[in-house]
Amino acid sequence: MKAPWHALAGTLPESRLLASVAEFTHHRDIDALDHSVVLSLAELVAVSSVTLCKRGESLQHPVDSIVVCTRKPGGGFVVEAIDPGRDGDPIDTIVCAMETLEAITDVTEDGTSRLVIPIQREHAAIGALMLEAEDSLDDVRSMVEGFARIYGNYIALLNESERDKLTGLYNRRSFEQRLQRLLKLQRQRARTVMPEGKEQRHVPADVSQLFLAILDIDHFKRINDTYGHVYGDEVILMLAQQMRASFRQGDVLFRFGGEEFVMLIAAADEEAAQAVLDRFRRFVAGHAYPQVGHVTVSIGYARITENDYPEIVLDRADKALYFAKQNGRDSVYGYESLAARGELAASVALGSIDLF
């Protein structure tokens, strides 16, 4: 006979549920929130695992992130983020639930019961929760659906606080968190391609490096003074839209304020990063903006390593941007190349990016 969900949840289910909801809505950091949600469900229900999937922004990348909470044989749980770039079962099942906006219940070949609940916002799926257990999960479906609704509402509030209101790009407040998330994902991908039993000493050649680029619209004050702030804002908005269309889904785009943008991009090496950024620079220069006409941008970038502090990388990229501004604008320069050629002064005044 199947045990009802409240027996699985404990002797005081209402108290346990309220405590769980209070716990995960306490977090302001999205990674911490995701970990707390899967752990809370695993503690409430007798499951072998709970998975939280976030939807990607393209058909090529249907899954943006995956967090899994697994019950350990000796008791307790382990929560970890895993590489979203995988396919097959159960990812295909999760994607199906997100596309159809319908819950899926099935039993795997080894007899494991599975429940997948899409997480919806404004009639679209932003992710899904998947529970796996030895026994049927039918009795906990309504509870999991409630968690999905609460999570969907709460994540929308957090996402709004991370976005620039004019462009919809990420804002300065979310920069460090997004950078650390990318670095963590890079480490995971690097580990997966190393031969088993080999110690990782260097990032393998087929694993992309991360670069931070700072973009500044040239003579933007002149645009505002000549055409007014309305047209200046329109240039910023259109530039943000062009950035979304030009860069890849895995790259992360920010507006730091005013005419300054920051990009976290993956590339095989500095030459590849230079090519990507210069292609966008040329695209902007060739585009005519309403009323304003043609504008140009200057870009400075630097490579990110695991041990770098965010402000240090910003400093390096800003030095390269400063060099671009002082040497004709409408150009792209990398910090490492400039430093190797001895073209950076020992102490260069920071540009308009404030580190503190």
Catalytically active residues, by annotation: 259
CA angle at 106 for the pair 103 and 109, rounded to the nearest 5°: 150
Determine the Cα–Cα distance for residues 133 and 128; give it in Å rounded to an integer. Answer: 17
Return the structure tokens found at 198.
Answer: 């080999």
Return the structure tokens found at 152.
Answer: 């969907």
Return the structure tokens found at 338.
Answer: 């400039």
- Exposure string of 301-329, with b = 16+ CB inside 10 Å and e = fewer, is bbbbeeebebeebbbbbbbbbbbbbeeee
Determine the Cα–Cα distance for residues 230 and 214; give it in Å rounded to an integer. Answer: 24
- Burial class from Cβ neighbours inside 10 Å (0-12, 13-18, 19+) for residue 201 reads exposed
Determine the Cα–Cα distance for residues 6 and 2; give it in Å rounded to an integer. Answer: 11
Return the structure tokens found at 355.
Answer: 């580190």
